[in-house]
Amino acid sequence: MTALTRELRTLWRGPLTVPESKLPPRTLVTETVLVLLLSLGASAIYSILSIIRDLQSHVALNQQTSSLNNSQATQSWLDLTYQLVGVALGVVPALLAIHLLGREIRRSTTYLGIDKARPARDFAWGLGLAALIGIPGLVLYVVARDLGFNTTVVAADLGSNWWATPVLLLSALQNAIVEEVVMVGYLFTRWSQAGWPLPVVIVCSAVIRGSYHLYQGFGGFAGNIVMGLILGTVYLRTRRILPLIITHAILDSVAFVGYALLHNHVGWLS
């Protein structure tokens, strides 16, 4: 057994050490369900409906498209306003999760590892994880699409507006903050406080993460489950959410901005 395998078994064996909650387990789980239904859980439900609808179509899955970051208005200033409001409101579920934890945990952002305590190490973790996840993820997307298991993902459709790239970067950061704060920091804490075994916590979080990407197809579903398992394990190792946010922001930034710049020049992107 390798040292890495032994460390993974140790990390997953649990339980995760978390501050004790005065709330009963049933209340803690109910709270997480409500937070999810207001945010990423609702997205998972719509994604499941979306893949069912796509599979009912007579058009092959890889001939269908899934669009992200779409234009919302024909007038540039109004479209920009829509995009900025969407980013601002989109981060609210993460703020809610931090607020709920903060009622029982002092300095909840510090507890979650969202601070400036070790910026160089956090960035190094984020960059390394982005390479580890991003390159195989890109290969998985291309293979899954070519085999008919995935849609063609249009990662950016904001036209040639001067503000397109900054908005795409903000959108990437918003996605990263919401997903990592809610799916890892918040859920790992609440479910552990409710007494769930650590492997159940990690797997459930990863499966939900994959589920709200099902609109992309089964490649997106599988790839994001793997991503969730990796990031969840890294969180157990570091006890910091910031490296995960950096990882996710890099991945989405490259996907969004890269698509916007290259889709007219690289055949397999379209």
Which residue has 């996605």 as its token pair?
175
Q: Which of 172, 230, 232 is nearest to 201 (CA)?
A: 232
- Residue 261's pLDDT is what? 87
**Whether the model pTM is above 0.75:** yes
- Residue 13's pLDDT is what? 67
Mean pLDDT of 176-204: 97
Mean pLDDT of 76-86: 97
- Residue 16's pLDDT is what? 79
Question: CA–CA separation, 156 vs 256, rounded Å?
Answer: 6
**pLDDT above 70 coverage of the chain, percent:** 93
Mean pLDDT of 228-242: 96
Question: CA–CA separation, 122 vs 200, rounded Å?
Answer: 26
Q: Which of 55, 41, 37 is nearest to 218 (CA)?
A: 55
Say yes or no to pLDDT of 268 above 70. Answer: no
Say yes or no to pLDDT of 67 above 70. Answer: yes
Mean pLDDT of 66-94: 96
Say yes or no to pLDDT of 50 above 70. Answer: yes
Mean pLDDT of 237-253: 97
157-181 burial code (b ≥16 CB/10 A, e <16): ebeeeeebbebbbbbbbbbbbbbbb
pLDDT digits (tens, 9 = 90+) for 3-16: 556 655 666 766 67
pLDDT digits (tens, 9 = 90+) for 192-227: 999 999 999 999 999 999 999 999 999 999 999 999
SS3 sequence, the chain?
CCHHHHHHHHHHHCCCCCCCCCCCHHHHHHHHHHHHHCCHHHHHHHHHHHHHHHHHCCCCHHHCEEECCECCCCCHHHHHHHHHHHHHHHCHHHHHHHHHHHCCCCCHHHHHCCCCCCHHHHHHHHHHHHHHHHHHHHHHHHHHHHCCCECEEECCECCCCCCHHHHHHHHHHHHHHHHHHHHHHHHHHHHHHCCCCHHHHHHHHHHHHHHCCHHHEHHHHHHHHHHHHHHHHHHHHHCCCHHHHHHHHHHHHHHHHHHHHHCCCCHHHC
- Residue 44's pLDDT is what? 97
- Residue 269's pLDDT is what? 64
- Residue 263's pLDDT is what? 76
CA angle 83, 207, 215 (to 5 degrees): 45
pLDDT top residue among 179 and 265: 179
pLDDT digits (tens, 9 = 90+) for 90-111: 999 999 999 999 999 989 999 9
Question: CA–CA separation, 23 vs 104, rounded Å?
Answer: 10
